Amino acid sequence: MSDIFQKTKSLFDLPDGILYLDGNSLGPLPIAAAARVEAVMKAEWGQMLITGWNKAGWMAQPNAVGDRLARLIGAQSGHVVVGDTLSIKVYQALDAALQLRPDRKVILSDSGNFPSDLYIAQGLIQALNQGHELRLVAPEDLHNHITEEVAVTLITQVDYRTGRLHDMCSITETAHQNGALCIWDLAHSAGAIEVELAKAKADFAVGCTYKYLNGGPGSPGFIYVAPHLIDNIEPTLSGWLGHAAPFAFAQGYEPGNGIDRMRVGTPPVLALASLEAALDVWDMVDMAELRAQSIALSQLFIAEIENKCPMLKLGSPRDPNKRGSQVAFHFQEGYAAMQALIERGVIGDFRAPDTMRFGFTPLYIDQQDVRAATDIIADVMQNRLWDADAYKIRAAVT
């Protein structure tokens, strides 16, 4: 293993005494991001005022950042654009896919999908009012339900609770054999595993940048559309910045060129500045190397926990090739146990009803950190340190 990860670790601002195993929910602060945002605020916003849109290239940022993201997800530049939030990007991809399959009414997803993706599908079905159906099946049965009724599969590649990893190539192939389109949600894939969108012939992909990619809280989502589809899409979220000529201020909408039409409104310039600093770290990283290191870390974690904490039951696939970069353990009092861990500096999170979730992020977590974390977890579990009233009061965000 190269020492690239020692280098990347030094580029993050991690509080002393914290073992951060929650980069799958919110990545930590890249040290350079604070200065970058300050520079954009003072030198660009402060001094350039409105001329920053041209002079500082703010208007081109969503495409420029999309191009930098493209390498991490196996896309070519020009096919990814950044903006809005992931939920909005799900809406756009689903709306586009349904337009491309007007004779089909089924949206196929799995019961492990993240609720926001399902809620967006439900809302879109209501808005379209054309008799579409959201069909949810067990993740392991997905393949068998890809039939000629299906317009589009809406699948999150890595399950947010269990870390279970869907095989993008084989599902996409089956979908295409049945005349269906595929949308891949990469929320827990981008920056976590190797993704090859172009090789897998994915039709659409969407994701967020504040999880493994470390863009910062509320940093924007992204969307990929396969180049052979984009020109046939008439966006329903037809905002002015997806228009062919926004500054012509014409009254009628005309979709922009290529992926530009998936833009909606004004780019979040400050958030993009922070994301750019995060991508400077990613520029050093080879995704195959990252994946190998992520597997080494999660395997070590599982072995140590199973050795020391028999009361915790593995909730993730045991085979690392069937798992993303996070590990779940079931424990009845998982919420209280996680609060006790957080108080001792091991930060993971809890997902109802009983899942304790830990993310492994080689950019700033190494084997020594994993060993230190498992020692603390063993202490909390073996000595029932979680069994205190204060740890059982649920906060708004778990």
Ligand X SMILES: *Cc1c(COP(=O)(O)O)cnc(C)c1O
- The catalytic site residues sit at 114, 185, 210-211, 357
**Number of helices (H), then strands (E), in the chain:** 14, 15
Establish if 122 lies at the interface with ligand X (CB under 6 A): no
The single residue among 44, 110, 117, 349 that binds ligand X, judged by CB under 6 A, is: 117
Residue with Cβ nearer ligand X (86 or 346): 86
Establish if 86 lies at the interface with ligand X (CB under 6 A): yes
- Residue carrying structure tokens 């005349």: 179
Establish if 110 lies at the interface with ligand X (CB under 6 A): no
Residue with Cβ nearer ligand X (193 or 370): 193
Cα separation, 3 vs 362, in Å, equals 11
Stretch that binds ligand X, among 11-19, 97-105, 112-120, 137-145 (CB under 6 A): 112-120
Establish if 85 lies at the interface with ligand X (CB under 6 A): yes
The single residue among 73, 175, 190, 208 that binds ligand X, judged by CB under 6 A, is: 208
Stretch that binds ligand X, among 109-117, 140-148, 270-278, 300-308 (CB under 6 A): 109-117
Both structure tokens of 230: 């984009």
Establish if 118 lies at the interface with ligand X (CB under 6 A): no
Which residue in 381, 70, 382, 95 sits closest to 209, CA to CA?
Answer: 70
How many residues form the binding site for ligand X (CB under 6 A)?
13
Exposed, middle or buried, 191 (CB in 10 Å: 0-12/13-18/19+)?
buried
Establish if 44 lies at the interface with ligand X (CB under 6 A): no
- Residue carrying structure tokens 């689903």: 94
Establish if 359 lies at the interface with ligand X (CB under 6 A): no
Footprint of ligand X on 168-207 (CB under 6 A): 185, 187-188
Alpha-carbon Rg of the chain, whole angstroms? Answer: 22
The single residue among 116, 236, 266, 299 that binds ligand X, judged by CB under 6 A, is: 116
Which residues partner with 81 through β-bridges? 223
The single residue among 114, 224, 301, 364 that binds ligand X, judged by CB under 6 A, is: 114
Residue with Cβ nearer ligand X (205 or 305): 205
Stretch that binds ligand X, among 81-89, 238-246, 295-303, 332-340 (CB under 6 A): 81-89
Residues 275, 219 contacting (CB under 8 angstroms):
yes
Establish if 351 lies at the interface with ligand X (CB under 6 A): no
Q: What is the bridge-based pairing of β-strands 133-137 and 106-110?
A: parallel
Establish if 22 lies at the interface with ligand X (CB under 6 A): no
Cα separation, 182 vs 93, in Å, equals 10
Residue with Cβ nearer ligand X (361 or 374): 361
Establish if 221 lies at the interface with ligand X (CB under 6 A): yes
Cα separation, 315 vs 331, in Å, equals 10
Stretch that binds ligand X, among 114-122, 141-149, 277-285, 293-301 (CB under 6 A): 114-122
Torsion sign, CA atoms 192, 193, 199, 201: negative
* Polymer length in residues for the chain: 398
Cα separation, 305 vs 301, in Å, equals 6
